[in-house]
Amino acid sequence: MGYPRRVLIDGGTVRVFNTDRSDGDFQIRDPAPDVETRRRAIVDAPWSWIHQVHGTTVLEVSEPGEQAGATADGLLTTAPGCPIAVTAADCSPVVLVAERGVAVLHAGWRGLVDGIVESTGKRLIDLAGRPIEALVGPCIHPNHYEFGADVLAEVIDRYGDEVRGLTAWGTTALDMPTAVGRACQAAGWKVTDVGPCTSGDRYFSHRMRGDDERQTTVAWIEPAPA
């Protein structure tokens, strides 16, 4: 079972859930009745989900299921009862929690370089108030993320040399959690939780095993009890 988190906000609680292999495949396929069943087992409401393209588009959700099937790489909401989700199998799922809202992002290296975290963070602050915390879900860690020096230079140019890592076999790597952390810091958020590396058997990993399946990160606001 994936691990849940709760973050208190004004007037309620943000709940965050990261799935693992035991929760099944959340890859977007058509038709997808099994995926819908798996979603409802986590939170029984219409989900907002997206077709991800490694871009920077982030869409707002104001009612359950809104924007489902849209093309984007993130969703945000200030409305209670609206599950918003991204999928990944090595890229980094990022959750930004503000005092009255939440955003979920699919952040690969290209989206990071193009500023998806910073632009979303600014937008969420404008809509939902001060930053509370950022959570980084399961993603590939540097010990298994060999990365070409020319592409790594683009990430270093934006976030500094701290994002440079080494693989377990001694070659150049990208430290994705550190890069995401630097992006969150630039956006005004402090990362309070970093998920495990997807290279392990608990998670799907395209890079390590060529997995076609995906885990999901879903967040939603629960209103405070009356």
Domain boundaries in the chain? 4-223
In eight-state DSSP terms, residue 197 is B
Which amino acid, one-letter code, is at 51?
A: H
pLDDT means over runs of 10, the chain (226 residues): 82 95 89 87 96 96 97 98 97 98 97 97 97 97 94 96 96 96 96 94 93 96 82
Determine the CATH number of domain 4-223: 3.60.140.10
- Alpha-carbon gap, residue 40 to 44, rounded angstroms: 4
For residue 33, what pLDDT is reported? 76
For residue 1, what pLDDT is reported?
Answer: 45
Integer Cα distance of 150 and 153 in angstroms:
5
- Listed in sequence order, the residues at least 6 apart from 180 whose beta carbon sits closer than 8 Å to its beta carbon are 92, 94, 107, 112, 117, 136, 139, 191
